Structure 1
């Protein structure tokens, strides 16, 4: 099979434990693109937090961001197809954040907002501080999420984290029952909440249909629950070795972990042809 598109999750997949792209991966992607294969970032991140990697790889395609809430065109500096939370959905969700006392960040149109700093946010801020200012994501303190929601033009998603998985599960249950929103795990203690129906797989399916790319011509890489639909969609779904059994079970192939040359090895096996 000749693949036309490589779809890449970021955290736990394209990025190693130090949030860097391995040199071997960069080289393999460069060789694949030289052969006419396109590459696309498909991430749970806000576009401002994915930009540094898009720029590092010299990509051209828009990125799918916030678990499919929208596509972002970095060259035009604007979102493309999108389905953000409605204001009423965001208001209702914030009420449940307050009720359950769950640490949460709100993803506004062009920045990520926080009220308090937890360990997840601290790690993000530490990573951000290592980046050149030109590619550093915009992260802002909000005095009040209530005020933020009333003034916001767009809210892409909420991301909530808690070390108590049972507490997060109770929170998810009430969100799904009372609001009907999309809830996906993007880490063992991290949850993303967006408009119903949003997913990486759904947004990717819509885009490839517009581009005339068959699903069989897509190879996708992922490691978490929010990647599963994308892995099933792709003609070749590749789970990272650091992913859980549920993710590996829905993939066509399991490669090495994100701290190894897993992506490079899979690209060599399935995509790259002899020079």
Structure 2
């Protein structure tokens, strides 16, 4: 935390409690993303199945909710499912939920960091695959980070596997800002959970009551920014290190970048994919996109 703008990577939010809080966020009134994406899956899942073919192994990067993934698995007629998540406890529950919702489906959970290329379970290694990355998680990364991630997906999936990806679209700040600062304070608890992890998991000396949550739409950078803000002059001590933080100073925890349909097509190409189809809701809040892999010599 030596930079002028102190930062802590958002991946540290996702312990068991963090994963549970995020699942709560997806059901909030202000958080339009999940229900809009589920509507797109329900409306267009069969069409996606027609594009990619039935009987594939669905590889989901970040194990999905029981509300979103089973309808998609059924719509495309998947033969097997590989949920990947860094939180082993949450992954176990998600896999159990899917088994219950889609009886007879072969489920092979894989605990790991999907930002790097992974080896898929041997039982599905030679099967045709479809990548699935819903929920606009791609927006949590800078463009460069997103390209690196998507190229890791290519390696994990193997040659010629298509990808279905959720990408949130640019829209009014009046819609965006409440989605990341809900009236019940669940998002605030989720993001300020970084302080809980510093204190409880790493033994940091800090006063939780010195901090609050702040988020805002940064139009210049096309993203929602999420911070924890010091309300008074305070400090964080970790081992032999101590950081003094002035009142009003923030720790930058997470971003949620938004794209236009055209910008997402550029992101696909830079990552070695081509945008084949893009489905949006009537209000153009969110998009569900089908990408196909380009040969290496055609990618940037």
TM range (shorter): 0.3 to 0.5
Give the structure with the higher percent helix: 1
TM-score, normalised relative to structure 1 = 0.33
Which protein has the larger Cα radius of gyration, Structure 1 or Structure 2? Answer: 2
TM-score where L is the length of structure 2: 0.31
